[in-house]
Amino acid sequence: MYVLGIETSCDETSCAVVKGRRVVSNVVVSSLKYHKKYGGIVPEIATRNHLKFIDKVLMLALKKAGISLKEISAIGVVYKPGLIGSLIVGVNFAKALCLSLGKPLIGINHLHSHIYAPFLNNKKRIRFPFLGLVVSGGHTELFLVKDFDNIKSVGKTRDDACGEVFDKVARAFGLGYPGGIYIDRIFREEFKQSFSFSCARIGLDFSFSGVKTAVIYKKMELEKKNKLDEETKISILSSFQESVVNTIVSTTILAAKELALNRLVCGGGVIANRRLRYLLKEETKKENIELLLSPKEYCGDNGACCAGLAFYLHKKGINSGINLSPEAN
Ligand code: KG4
Ligand code: ZN
């Protein structure tokens, strides 16, 4: 049995086919290059590109899977959260397919699909309950996952998302967009405490806008004094990254303890960060928490996570129906 997944919540247009946990095809086309000069995603540009590419992406996903549309048993589509114009394209495309093929439609929460990533292409038993951690460009959130249709948020950012802050800081330093990967590459462990930056934490909630402002002010201050050489820039960015990833890891461990959970499942674009992956591994080992990290290839937005979760929910008999509406938040 094959399930199709359609993801258009941000700038990636993606369709994927799964058979159980196995990814049979996963085609991702990004409109990123059209947004770069603006230093962020322009919703209108994202929407127009989804419209332009979605049918081609579907055809390619089917071709790569070596199947026809008729062989699809159900269709999963990301319907929230995301950019509303982008979601409308994906959801309506999925609805049209479901209506014409007479197949069930399964609405997928984008954040939940990120947490499904570690279960793709393996036979690891999915054991509940677990703590879910999503760190991406738009979200930083902790979840109590009792099952994939029983997920409760237990903590999230009160202002900027982690990836968003990486991107804004990188931009202030003239690095490319999206900047998370550049900061990850620049990071040098010997400079991780050269500057003392700290992130606020409120219970199990995060806050990253303060550290962003502090880093940008520090850069401006040193620039004025003509003290901002290359090594100082690397030191500032390394200390910034250390402070952010430390806060994520310590808050996650705290959440696991408070909720008495000994399993942690992580996904989202920022989970590709090398230092974050390293610290998650180190700290969970100390606390005897089982860790499942999204493979790097499935950290960013993609249809495979959506299709995989849709397959799981379809097996549980879930059908969202044709009246499914996209929701920005
Ligand atoms: O999950 P994602 O692809 O899209 C959203 O759902 O938001 O995440 C994109 C975010 C961007 O902010 C990007 O800078 C960040 O993930 N990112 C990273 C790394 N790779 C991507 N941040 C830190 N280190 C990385 N290696
Ligand atoms: Zn995402």
**Domain extent listing, the chain:** 2-121+300-315, 130-294
Helix%, strand%, coil% for the chain, nearest 5: 50, 20, 30
**Tens digit of pLDDT for each residue in 31-58?**
999 998 888 899 999 999 999 999 999 9
Class of the domain covering 2-121+300-315: alpha beta
Average pLDDT, the chain: 97
For residue 87, the model assigns a pLDDT of: 98
**Tens digit of pLDDT for each residue in 169-218?**
999 999 989 999 999 999 999 999 999 999 988 999 999 999 999 999 99
Confidence of residue 329 (pLDDT cuts 50, 70, 90): confident
pTM of the model: 0.97
Element (DSSP H or E) covering residue 80: strand 72-80
Taking residues 265-275, report their average pLDDT: 98
Taking residues 231-259, report their average pLDDT: 98
**Tens digit of pLDDT for each residue in 5-26?**
999 999 999 999 999 999 999 9
What is the distance in A from the centroid of ligand 2 to the CA of 76? 16
Q: Indicate which atom in ligand 1 lies nearest the CA of residue 300.
A: 3
Architecture of the domain defined by 130-294: 2-Layer Sandwich (3.30)
Matching CATH topology for 2-121+300-315 and 130-294? yes
For residue 251, the model assigns a pLDDT of: 98
Report residues whose beta carbon is within 6 angstroms of any ligand 1 atom.
Answer: 10, 136-138, 163, 166-167, 178-181, 184, 268-270, 272-273, 300-301
Amino acid, single-letter form, for residue 125: R
Q: Indicate which atom in ligand 1 lies nearest the CA of residue 139.
A: 7
Task: Taking the CA atoms of 294, 296, 299 and 303 in sequence, report the sign of the dihedral they define.
Answer: negative
